[in-house]
């Protein structure tokens, strides 16, 4: 069935780049999302990419899509302590419902 | 421009009770989806409403039901509550454009605790 897989934890030093990876199975997805969730809060849409794109850059965020391998990544440049949160990869569109991964917990060490 | 709003923010119920959660979509949006996020997990799709009808449903029992009103707001009802229904319930809104759903935006969620 449809599935989205992410690594559970990532730890980086402040100022370094963070790369969070995701793989998915549903090739019909037209939107691929990255959401951020801070403790006790709802989901914040960080960025998204259409399935016909390879890359999207938005300030410190870079999204790369390898459609052949069904691999999505989020790179955060110059990671700050305020970036510590859970990052969810999600795929959707077309079939309307959105499938989420379990989330990657990013720890930023000062 | 108000984003997606949900009420209440927190709720405590006991097993067997019934609960109703409410959602108002972002201005201009006509579609509402509901998700359940258990502790430590990603959100799981419950169902989606468009034009006051349930359009798609995830793998949730019939105890979970919903409604969409003419003003596009929506309710999620859960009957016969179980301890395992304790979770953050998220509402997301989007709009249908050219046959496809545009990106969806999430509300802050309602945290339900079942004792």
How does pLDDT run across A43-99, given as a tens digit for each residue?
A: 898 998 988 999 999 999 999 999 999 999 999 999 999 999 999 999 987 546 889
Q: In chain A, what residues touch B95 (CB-CB under 8 Å)? A: none
Q: What is the pLDDT of residue A31?
A: 86
Question: Does the distance separating the beta carbons of A97 and B58 come in below 8 Å?
Answer: yes
Instruction: Report how far residue A35's alpha carbon sits from residue B83's, in angstroms, rounded to the nearest whole number.
Output: 28
Q: What is the pLDDT of residue A46?
A: 93
How confident is the model over B58-111, as pLDDT tens digits? 999 999 999 999 999 999 999 999 999 999 999 999 887 666 666 788 899 999
Instruction: Report how far residue B101's alpha carbon sits from residue A45's, in angstroms, rounded to the nearest whole number.
Output: 15
Q: What is the pLDDT of residue B100?
A: 61
Task: Name the DSSP letter for residue B103.
Answer: P
Distance from CA of B65 to the nearest CA of A (A): 17
Q: Is the four-CA dihedral B2, B102, A82, B43 of positive or negative sign?
A: positive
How confident is the model over B37-55, as pLDDT tens digits? 999 899 999 999 999 999 9
Could you tell me which residue, A95 or B23, shows the higher pLDDT? B23
Instruction: Report how far residue A69's alpha carbon sits from residue A67's, in angstroms, rounded to the nearest whole number.
Output: 5
Q: By the 8 A CB rule, do A34 and A21 touch?
A: no
Question: Does the distance separating the beta carbons of A88 and B43 come in below 8 Å?
Answer: yes
> Which residue from B56, B103, B108 is facing A42, i.e. has the nearest CB?
B108
Mean pLDDT of B12-34: 95
Question: Does the distance separating the beta carbons of A102 and B41 come in below 8 Å?
Answer: yes
Q: What is the pLDDT of residue A95?
A: 45
Q: Is A43 on the interface with B (CB under 8 A)?
A: yes
**Residue B2: pLDDT band with limits 50, 70, 90:** confident
- Tokens of residue A61, six digits: 């965020």
Q: B5 to chain A: nearest residue by CA?
A: A42
Q: In chain B, what residues touch A92 (CB-CB under 8 Å)? A: 101, 104
Per-state percent for chain A, helix, strand, coil, to nearest 5: 5, 55, 40
Instruction: Report how far residue B52's alpha carbon sits from residue B31's, in angstroms, rounded to the nearest whole number.
Output: 9
Percent of chain B, pLDDT > 70? 94
Please state, as a whole number, how many other Cβ atoms lie within 10 Å of the Cβ of residue B108: 18
């Amino acid at each position: 069935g449809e599935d989205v897989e992410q690594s559970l934890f990532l730890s980086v030093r402040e100022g370094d780049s963070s790369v969070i990876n995701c793989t998915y199975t549903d090739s019909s997805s037209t939107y691929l999302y990255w959401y951020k969730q801070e403790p006790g809060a709802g989901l914040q849409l960080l960025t998204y990419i259409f399935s016909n794109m390879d890359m999207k850059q938005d300030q410190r965020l870079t999204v790369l899509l390898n459609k052949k391998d069904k691999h999505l990544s989020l790179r955060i440049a110059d990671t700050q302590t305020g970036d510590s949160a859970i990052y969810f990869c999600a795929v959707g569109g077309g079939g309307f419902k959105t499938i989420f991964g379990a989330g990657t917990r990013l720890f930023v060490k000062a | 421009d108000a984003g997606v709003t949900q009420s209440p923010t927190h709720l405590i119920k006991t097993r067997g009770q019934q609960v109703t959660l409410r959602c108002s979509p972002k201005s201009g949006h006509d579609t509402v989806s509901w998700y359940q996020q258990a502790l430590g997990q990603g959100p799981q799709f419950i169902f989606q409403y468009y034009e006051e009808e349930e359009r798609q449903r995830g793998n949730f029992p019939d105890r979970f039901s919903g409604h969409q009103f003419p003003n596009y707001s929506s309710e999620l009802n859960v009957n016969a509550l179980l301890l395992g229904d304790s979770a953050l319930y998220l509402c997301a809104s989007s709009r249908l454009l050219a046959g496809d759903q545009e990106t969806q935006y999430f509300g802050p969620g309602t945290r339900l605790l079942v004792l």
